[in-house]
Amino acid sequence: MKLDVDVLRYLSKDDFRVLTAVELGMRNHEIVPTELIDRIARLKHGGTYKVLKNLLKHKLLHHDSSKYDGFRLTYLGYDFLAIKTMVNKGVFVAVGRQIGVGKESDIFEVAREDGTVLAMKLHRLGRVSFRAVKSKRDYLRHRSSYNWLYLSRLAALKEFAFMKALETHGFPVPNAVEHNRHCVVMSLIQGYPLVQVKHLQNPETVFETIIGIVVRLAEHGLIHCDFNEFNIMINDDEKITMIDFPQMVSVSHRNAQMYFDRDVECIFKFFRKRFNLSFQESIDDIDGSDEEGDEAVKPCFSAIDRSAGFLDKELAASGFTRKDDEDIQRFIEGGAETDTNSDSEGTDSVEDPNEADIIDGDSLHLTEEDKGHESQGKEENCEAGESSGSEKEEASDKEENNQNAMGNEAELVKSLSKQRQRAIAAAHRGRKTPASRNSYKDKGGRSSHNSKIQKQLSSW
C-alpha cells in the first residue's frame, strides 16, 4: 500500500483518537467490535461512527462484518500512528520520497527541522512475497497467536536494539535515532548497495574488510544470517556499511555454523563472479593435506575466539539460552582461578635434570645396605608384630565391652516397654464399659421383679 502523507494533514484529533482505540482493541481482538471502539474512544454524541466512516474512506481501517460488525487497522493506519508520534516528539517534520523497498520493509526519506535528512524504515511483514515469517524468523518465540502488525513491531524493536549495540562496539552500521511501533529512524547512508556496483578500485581490500566484519561479528557472539550484496552499502571512498539486522542470531544457535558458512559463501561467490577474484581451489595431496587455497582463506567457525564480547547475551539473540548464560558466567569466574593457579603448577612441574641420576646412585647404595640389615629387620618386624597383636587384643576387648553395654541397654528398653503394655492392658480390663444411651432399659416387668427378689436373697 502506497504511503500518501497528504491525508495526514486533514486528520483531526478525533480521527487519531479512534485509530488509537482500534489499536488498543486489537490486543485482544482480531476484529475489534464497533461498540468496543466507541467505549474506548469516548467521543461525544456518537461521533465515533462518523469518524469510522471517514477513516474507512481513506483506507486507514478495514471493515469486517462476517461474524460481527467490527474494524481492524491497516498498515497505512499504523503508519500514520507511528509518524504522528514521531512528529510530536520532534524527530522529523517532513516525509519525502521512497528510496527503498524490500520483502519486509519500505524505506523513506525524512527531514528534520534543521534540514538534516534521515532514513525512516517501516516494517511490513506479511506480504505475499514473504509470508513464512514464523519459520524463517524468531519474532514470535513461544507465542501461538499473532497478527502482522504485532510482528512488524517486534521486528522494528529488535533491529533498533541490534543497531544501537553494534554502533557502541564500533561496527559500521547506521546511527539509530528513534523507533516507535513498526517504524525505525536512522541516519541516511550516502552510498549505494553493493549489488549495484560494477567496478571497484581495490576489490581485494573491500573483500577483506567484509570478511573481517563477518568474523568480528562472530567473535562478539552474533551472526548476521543475511550478509550479502543487497545488505552491504558502499560509498565513493569504498567505505563499507552493513544494514538489515532483525534476523541476527547467536553463535550458540543450533544452526549457527550453517548460517555463518552461508554468509561467507555469499561474499566469496559475489566477488568471484562480479570482480573476477580468483581463489585457488583446495587440492588434496596423497597424505590428505590441503594446499593453501579457497578453504584456507575462508574463516572457520570452530576456530573463532569469543573473547571479544557477548552481545548475544546482552541482546538475548535467537539461540542464546539460559544454559549458555550459565556457561559464560562459569567461564568468567574460572578464568581468574586458572590464571592464579597456572604459576604454581608451572613451578611444581619444573624438575632438575640431574635429579634422576642422583636417585639412581642412592638406590644402589641402599640395596647393599639392605642386604646387611635383613636379619635386623626381621627381628624388629617380629617385635612389632607382637606389640601390634597385644594392641589388637586390647582394642577387641573394648569393642566387646561396648557391644555388651549396648545389648544390655536394648534388653532394658524392651522389658520396660513390655511392662508398660501389660499395665495398660490391666487398666483396660478393670474398667466397666458404660451402657450406651440406646441400650434397652427395663421399665418394670416380670424380669425386673425377679431381679429385685434375687438381690434381696443375696443380701440375706
For the residues 47-74, what does the mean pLDDT come to?
93
123, pLDDT greater than 80 = yes
Choice between 199 and 324, residue whose per-residue pLDDT is larger:
199
Choice between 371 and 395, residue whose per-residue pLDDT is larger:
395
**Mean pLDDT over all residues of the chain?**
76
- Cα dist. 262→223, 224, 258, 409 in Å? 10, 10, 6, 80
Q: Report the length, in residues, of the chain.
A: 460
pLDDT of residue 337: 47
For the residues 224-246, what does the mean pLDDT come to?
92
Q: How confident is the model at residue 365 (pLDDT cuts 50, 70, 90)?
A: very low
Q: What percent of the chain has pLDDT over 90?
A: 43
pLDDT of residue 383: 47
Choice between 352 and 205, residue whose per-residue pLDDT is larger:
205
For the residues 111-125, what does the mean pLDDT come to?
94
Catalytic status, residue 226? yes
pLDDT of residue 138: 54
Count of beta carbons in the 10 Å neighbourhood of residue 183: 26
356, pLDDT greater than 60 = no
Contact 67, 31 (CB under 8 A): yes
pLDDT of residue 20: 96
pLDDT of residue 271: 93
Separation between Cα atoms, residue 274 and residue 272, nearest integer Å: 6
All 3 cell numbers of residue 443? 421399665
Separation between Cα atoms, residue 416 and residue 278, nearest integer Å: 100
SS3 at position 443 = coil
19, pLDDT greater than 50 = yes
377-417 confidence digits (pLDDT tens): 444 444 444 444 555 555 556 566 666 666 667 777 777 77
SS3 at position 375 = helix
157-214 confidence digits (pLDDT tens): 999 999 999 999 999 999 999 999 999 999 999 999 999 999 999 999 999 999 999 9
- Nearby residues of 29 by Cβ (< 8 Å), 6 or more positions away: 36, 70
pLDDT of residue 120: 96
The secondary structure element, H or E, covering residue 72 is: strand 70-73
SS3 at position 214 = helix
48, pLDDT greater than 80 = yes
Separation between Cα atoms, residue 124 and residue 182, nearest integer Å: 8
Choice between 449 and 306, residue whose per-residue pLDDT is larger:
306
Query: Could you give the angle at the alpha carbon of 267 between the alpha carbons of 265 and 273, nearest 5°?
Result: 100
pLDDT of residue 137: 53
- Give which of 84, 88, 231, 261 is closest to 162, Cα–Cα: 231
| Least confident residue range of 28-32, 39-43, 144-148, 269-273 | 144-148
Q: How confident is the model at residue 78 (pLDDT cuts 50, 70, 90)?
A: very high
Within its chain, how far is the Cα of 411 from the centroid?
64
pLDDT of residue 273: 92
284-312 confidence digits (pLDDT tens): 333 444 444 444 478 888 888 877 667 77
Q: What percent of the chain has pLDDT over 70?
A: 63
pLDDT of residue 177: 95
27, pLDDT greater than 50 = yes
Contact 202, 220 (CB under 8 A): no
pLDDT of residue 89: 94
Q: Which long-range contacts (CB under 8 A, 24 or more apart) does 91-96 make?
A: 91/118, 91/177, 91/178, 91/185, 92/118, 92/120, 92/185, 95/3, 95/5, 95/120
Contact 236, 246 (CB under 8 A): no
pLDDT of residue 323: 58
Query: In degrees rounded to 5, what are phi and psi of residue 154?
Result: -65, -40
357, pLDDT greater than 50 = no
Question: Considering 15, 79, 106, 226, which one is annotated as catalytic?
Answer: 226
- Cα dist. 324→165, 221, 321, 369 in Å? 20, 11, 5, 63
Separation between Cα atoms, residue 100 and residue 374, nearest integer Å: 99
Contact 221, 311 (CB under 8 A): yes
Separation between Cα atoms, residue 135 and residue 123, nearest integer Å: 18
238-276 confidence digits (pLDDT tens): 999 999 888 888 888 888 999 999 999 999 999 999 998
10 Å CB burial of residue 264 (0-12, 13-18, 19+) is buried
SS3 at position 295 = helix
